[in-house]
C-alpha cells in the first residue's frame, strides 16, 4: 500500500501567499495595460452635445491605480472660466465620491479590455450613464453619456485624441 505524505503547514501558507502576490501582480499588470491611461484632448468637431454647450477645450487624464483609475477632466468654457472634475474609482461597481460635478458619486465596471461603464448618482439615485471606449489602435477615446439631471435630459458623444 502506497504511503501518503502530508504537506507541511508552512508549505501551504507559502503557496497561498504566492497566489495572493500573483493575483496582485496580474491586477497591477492589467491596470498598467489599461489603454485609457494617459492624456486625451477633446476633438470638438467630431463630438456631439445635446443640448449644445459653450466649452472651448477639454482634456481628460486617466492614471492607473492598483484596482481602477483616477480621472481628471479640465474644461475651458467660452466665458474664460474653467472647471475641474476629479474622481478615483475601483472597478468594483461601488459608489465613489466625485468632485467638481453635479453628481455626488460614480461607480465603474469594466466591460472588456477597452470598455468601461460608469454610472453617476445624485442623492443615491442613478441619473447618468457613460460608456468609455478606447479604439483598437489606442489613438481614440469615445465617451457616450446619457443623463437626466433635475428633469433636464442631456447626452453627448465625446471623441478624444491621445496626447501622451
Could you report the per-residue pLDDT of 48-80, keeping only the tens digit for each?
Answer: 999 998 899 999 999 999 989 999 999 999 999
Residue 95 lies in a domain: yes
Cell numbers found for residue 15: 503557496
Q: How far apart are CA 75 and CA 160, in angstroms?
A: 13
Residue 6 lies in a domain: no
**Residue 161: band (very low, low, confident or very high) from pLDDT cuts 50, 70, 90:** very high
Q: How far apart are CA 58 and CA 159, in angstroms?
A: 11
Residue 3 lies in a domain: no
75-123 pLDDT, tens digit per residue, is: 999 999 999 999 999 999 999 999 999 999 999 999 999 999 999 999 9
Query: Domain of 131?
Result: 31-162
pTM to 2 decimals? Answer: 0.80
CATH of the domain at 69: 2.40.128.20
Give DSSP secondary structure letters for 63-117: EEETTEEEEEEEEEETTS-EEEEEEEEETTS--EEEESSS-SEEEEEEEETTEEE
DSSP tag of 79: T
Number of domains in the chain: 1
Residue 14 lies in a domain: no
Q: How far apart are CA 118 and CA 147, in angstroms?
A: 12
Residue 65 lies in a domain: yes
What's the pLDDT at 34? 87
Residue 5 lies in a domain: no
Residue 41 lies in a domain: yes
Amino acid at each position: 500500500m502506497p504511503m501518503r505524505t502530508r504537506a507541511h503547514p508552512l508549505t501551504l501558507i507559502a503557496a497561498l501567499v504566492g497566489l495572493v502576490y500573483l493575483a496582485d501582480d496580474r491586477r497591477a499588470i492589467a491596470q498598467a495595460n489599461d489603454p485609457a491611461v494617459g492624456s486625451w484632448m477633446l476633438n470638438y468637431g467630431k463630438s456631439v452635445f445635446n443640448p449644445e454647450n459653450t466649452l472651448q477645450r477639454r482634456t481628460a487624464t486617466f492614471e492607473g491605480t492598483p484596482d481602477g483609475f483616477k480621472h481628471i477632466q479640465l474644461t475651458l468654457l467660452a466665458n474664460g472660466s474653467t472647471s475641474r472634475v476629479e474622481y478615483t474609482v475601483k472597478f468594483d461597481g461601488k459608489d465613489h465620491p466625485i468632485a467638481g460635478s453635479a453628481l455626488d458619486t460614480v461607480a465603474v465596471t469594466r466591460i472588456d479590455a477597452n470598455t468601461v461603464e460608469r454610472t453617476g448618482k445624485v442623492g443615491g439615485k442613478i441619473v447618468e450613464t457613460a460608456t468609455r471606449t478606447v479604439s483598437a489602435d489606442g489613438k481614440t477615446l469615445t465617451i457616450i453619456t446619457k443623463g437626466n439631471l433635475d428633469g433636464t435630459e442631456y447626452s453627448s458623444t465625446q471623441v478624444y485624441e491621445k496626447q501622451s
